[in-house]
Structure 1
Amino acid sequence: MTLQLERPLDATDWKILRELQRDGRLSYNELGRRVGLSGPGAAERVRKLEDAGIIRNYGAQVDPTKVGLPLQAFIQLRCAPGKCLFQSSCADEFPEMLEMHKLSGSYCALLKVAVSSMQHLEAFHDRLAAYGNHITNLVTSSVITHRVIDWESPTVKLCPPPNSRWNE
């Protein structure tokens, strides 16, 4: 599988992307030191990556649990005819939504939500029911919550299932 880009990325671009995904608050001087460029050289490269739309934004990752939203869930939504959540609603009506994705298949949307309690989740369900049927899966733990995108030299490693005989 090859990665197709409008603007090919070189090894230095990938180093910059890895560093900024790990810490978006790096100074240009520190970023340059880590990737082998001067501070102004790093700043110019970052500007080009931003202009190309490769770097879309910078922001803090907030732990929902630490701000009073300990329950997270993924909700699959099948919108009722004429009541599409994407077309008839504003995200501001659902501040619990962290992510909202259009889907193919039998459900039209996947929502990631964070709520303060089961009662809060129930109230969210009541508001969401106006748009259609849904299935909710509570998150019991999160193994990967933010992954650095690094396709400079993609290699796929298959992990054998536990207790398998792949290696025999």
Structure 2
Amino acid sequence: MRDLDETDLRIIELLAENARRSYSEIGDDVGLSGPAVSDRVQRLQDSGVLERFTVDVDRSQLRAGVPVFVRLAVEDGMEDLRDRVSAATAVEHLFVTADEELLFYGRAEANGVRGWLTDLVGDAVVIEREVTVVDDVEWTPALGGVEFALSCDECGNTVDSEGETERLGDDVYHFCCPSCRSRFVERYERMEEGA
């Protein structure tokens, strides 16, 4: 497995700007042919760096409610609350902080924000809450200065250029060393035999 280079990072940036951009258009930008870009994108997907291509919907065009940003400090019931909020169709982004606060962005009915939030919170013990009406939203993924690092699927260490990759079934696994790879493969094969 080789490290990601500047061309890989630029391809990721271009796809983040517009996931529907053609490989030949990306190739013009990075100095590669369309098929070469396609090979790189496939490698990025196989390694787990790129997981999926998504659609960015401007919900304001759909009249989907009032955009709100909510901060909840919870004393008890964080896991259940997180599951409920995550499953809510009106919630677009969800964050849990290290100090056990739940932050999320979503859209509520114009005349029902309080009721919507009460239903969403359920029986969680909320000790503090803050609701802010959002005026404008912008998402700008920046990859400059970022280093990508894969984690070993056996021990969790960082996988560097000397790491190894193994395809088992439909999944690709990454390892920091041959011994981690062999332990993982051996355990995987034992589980397959027992199934």
Equivalent residue number for residue 117 of structure 2: 125
- Equivalent position amino acid for 2:92 in 1: L
Map 1:20-39 to 2 at 5 A. 20-39=15-34
Q: Letter of the 1:123 partner, please give it.
A: G
Question: Structure 2 vs 1, CA of residues 7 and 112 (structure 1 numbering), >3 Å: closer, same or farther?
Answer: farther
Pairwise CA RMSD? 2.7
* Aligned 8 A contact 2:86 2:94 in 1: no
User: Which gives a bigger RCO, structure 1 or 2 (Cα 8 Å, sep 6+)?
Assistant: 1
SS at match of 2:104: strand
Q: 1:72 aligns with which of 58, 67, 79?
A: 67
Deviation, structure 1 residue 139: 3.3
Partners of 2:25 and 2:93 in 1: CA distance: 32
| 1:95 lines up with 2:95 in the alignment | no
| 8 Å CA contact retained: 2:10, 2:30 | yes
TM-score under structure 2 normalisation?
Answer: 0.63
Match of 1:115 in 2: 108
Contact 1:68 1:116 in 2 (8 A): no
> Are 2:54 and 1:59 aligned?
yes
Q: Which moved more, 1:61-70 or 1:81-90?
A: 81-90
Larger radius of gyration: 2
Q: Does structure 1 residue 40 correspond to structure 2 residue 35?
A: yes
- 1:58 positional shift: 1.2
Secondary structure in structure 1 of the residue aligned to 2:27: helix
Task: Report if the CA contact (8 A) 1:84-1:131 is conserved.
Answer: no
* Cα shift at 1:81: 2.5
User: Hey, what does 2:191 align to over in structure 1?
Assistant: none
Gap regions ≥5 residues in structure 2: 148-195
Distance 1:136 1:73, change over 3 A: farther
Identity %: 21
In the TM superposition, structure 1's runs of 4+ consecutive aligned residues that sit over 6 Å from their partners are none
Distance 1:52 1:118, change over 3 A: farther
How many residues were matched structurally?
145
Shift of 1:115: 1.8
Q: Which amino acid aligns with 1:114?
A: R
Q: Offset at 1:147? A: 0.8
8 Å CA contact retained: 1:18, 1:150 = yes
Higher strand share: 2
- What are the ranges of 5 or more consecutive residues in structure 1 without an aligned counterpart? 1-5, 155-168
Q: Which residue of 1 aligns with 2:6?
A: 11
Determine the C-alpha separation between the residues in 2 that align with 1:122 and 1:26. 41
